[in-house]
Amino acid sequence: MINDEYFLAALRLAAGNDPIPSHVSAAARDVYGLRVPRAVTANPAECAAIRGVRDDDGSHLVRFVAAGLTFDLEVTVGDGLIDVAGQVFPYPGEGALVDVRTPHLTLTRRIAHTGHFAATGLPPGWLSVVCHRPGHAPVQTRWVRIRP
């Protein structure tokens, strides 16, 4: 029979001698680099007009809500690339910008007075949108995976 104290000591020793694999450390650094400091995260929201389903033309509609802002995004996949047409409302104010982000690419767009913006030619995969408003913390959508 194994003594509990010896068993726990062996576990402690083993834990100290097993380094974290380098690919795990690299992935953690990459993910940390995607964070937006002080950002408020908008979560998906239900809406009668927007159900988060694909339309006949292949577009995907989704709504995110947080911190008094609503993001309506229409994501279309064509020719292996993603196009995003969106609206932030209410209008976040003069000087507001959005970043349409993938893990490897960020496209910054001005927000029209109607709250509309668009970004085209993004690679398929993970996508997030961040709204930067002067004088306020950024608001970012959760990361969503867009597949062709």
> 33 near 102, Cβ under 8 Å?
no
Query: Residue 131: is its pLDDT beyond 50?
Result: yes
Give the global pTM.
0.78
Q: Which of 64, 36, 47, 43 is nearest to 133 (CA)?
A: 36
Render pLDDT for 33-84 as a digit per residue (tens, 0 to 9): 888 989 999 999 986 555 444 555 678 899 999 989 999 999 999 999 999 9
Whether 29 maps to a domain, the answer reads: no
User: What is the residue range of 81's domain?
Assistant: 41-146
Provide the pairing of β-strand 40-44 with 139-141.
parallel
Tally of domains within the chain: 1
Say how far apart CA 28 and CA 136 lie, in whole Å. Answer: 28
* Residue 69 lies inside a defined structural domain of this protein: yes
Q: Which of 27, 30, 26, 34 is nearest to 102 (CA)?
A: 34
9 found inside a domain? no
In the chain, pLDDT over 90 holds for what percent of residues?
61
Q: Which residue has the tokens 């003069």?
A: 94
CA–CA gap between residue 22 and residue 94 (Å, rounded): 44
Report pLDDT for 32: 79
pLDDT score, position 115: 97
Distance CA 72, CA 49 (A): 11
| Rounded Cα gap, residues 87 and 71, in angstroms | 6
User: How confident is the model over 80-102, as pLDDT tens digits?
Assistant: 999 999 999 999 999 999 999 99
Local confidence band at 4 (pLDDT 50, 70, 90 cut-offs): confident
60 or 114: which leads in pLDDT: 114
Which pair of structure tokens corresponds to residue 87? 């609206």
CATH number at residue 99: 2.60.40.10
CA torsion 64→43→35→30, rounded to 10°? -100
CB count within 10 Å of CB 45 equals: 15
123 occurs within a structural domain: yes
